[in-house]
Amino acid sequence: MRILIELPSWLGDTVMATPSIENLINFHGQSEVILIGPSISIQIFKYHPKISDSHVLDKKYFPLFLLTRKLGKFDMFISFRNSFRSNFYKFFIRSDLKFKYKKSSFQNSHQVEKYCKFINQSLNIDFPIGSLTIYSDGSLKEAPKDMKKKKPRLGINPGASYGNAKRWYPEEFAGVAAYLSNQFDIFILGGSNEKEIAMEIEKILVKKGITNYQNLVGITNISDLIYHISNFDLFITGDSGPMHIAACYKVPTVSIFGPTKDNETSQWDSKKSIILKKNLDCQPCMKRICPLKHHKCMKLIKAKDVLKEVESFNL
């Protein structure tokens, strides 16, 4: 059986889709499974033993059409995306069965549950929801300088791809890192578009005389990111893709939530997970930029609030 799976657009959504994808793969046994999607999503499955092939989707429509011809015929097409481009691709893909995830059909539950319900309904099965699953080779291709573990490792992730409204403030991240620097070595993570906020944190740490940190923002690929997060002893982050990778590896995590719905996108099945939010009347607005211009959902959370939650882990 040939199965084509279109992955979600976002890193976090892709990680949250892994239990449902594992159910799909296990249900069909020795099938040939091919993935399509954005590069960042494809890389999550780089070391999956049951994925036969993968293709990064072009944003232009003619190359998308050519890819449908190149891939040939499938027995089943499963899409976790709900966009016009995805509908275009679905129309041209040759498959006996086609199933597309629709947000409107799944409400008021965690995203992991939504994806699993989608697969169960599509295949007419009743598989339980498993754990988040990421396969990795467990190593770095190029290890950063001074990677020898001297202290427990604290990861801080100040960025958020969805928009600025989800971002906590660099001076607060730096305050947490500086306070914990005697106990932990500090690692700052993020994508290339998050270098500015990382540099702000780094400048504050330097000013405070903190030297046991590494700024890895913009210089790690997804495999490296997974490696680092899986080796952290504590993680401080906003609602983000790396937050879900940390959940997969059960890393003690304080997740700072502002405009998004923690009941839908918080860490899945992690006993060492703490959600920090202010529960304002305007939350959750689900906007990329604060529509009220005050950003209180993030501004009112201080470093001391995070440090108080960290104490409860008894690390």
Model pLDDT, residue 149: 59
pLDDT truncated to tens, each residue of the chain (315 aa)? 999 999 999 999 999 999 999 999 999 888 999 999 999 999 999 999 999 999 999 889 899 899 999 999 999 999 999 888 888 889 999 999 999 999 889 988 999 999 999 999 999 999 999 999 999 886 655 445 554 557 999 999 998 777 789 999 999 999 999 999 999 999 999 988 899 999 999 999 999 999 999 999 999 999 999 999 999 999 999 999 999 999 999 999 999 999 999 999 999 999 999 999 999 999 999 999 999 999 999 999 999 999 999 999 987
Residues 53, 35: Cα–Cα separation, whole Å: 6
Domains in the chain, CATH or no CATH each = 2-123 (3.40.50.2000), 153-311 (3.40.50.2000)
Is residue 12 a contact partner of residue 42, using CB atoms and an 8 Å limit?
A: no
Residues 232, 234: Cα–Cα separation, whole Å: 5
Model pLDDT, residue 29: 83
Reported pTM: 0.94
Strand duo 73-79 + 94-100: pairing: parallel
From the list 8, 222, 238, the residue with the least C-alpha distance to 118 is 8
300, two tokens: 């009112």
Model pLDDT, residue 30: 84
Residue by residue, what is the 3-state secondary structure of 108-171?
Answer: CCCHHHHHHHHHHHHHCCCCCCCCCCCCCCCCCCCCCCCCCCCCCEEEEECCCCCCHHHCCCHH
The residues that bridge with 34 in the sheet, in sequence order, are 4, 53
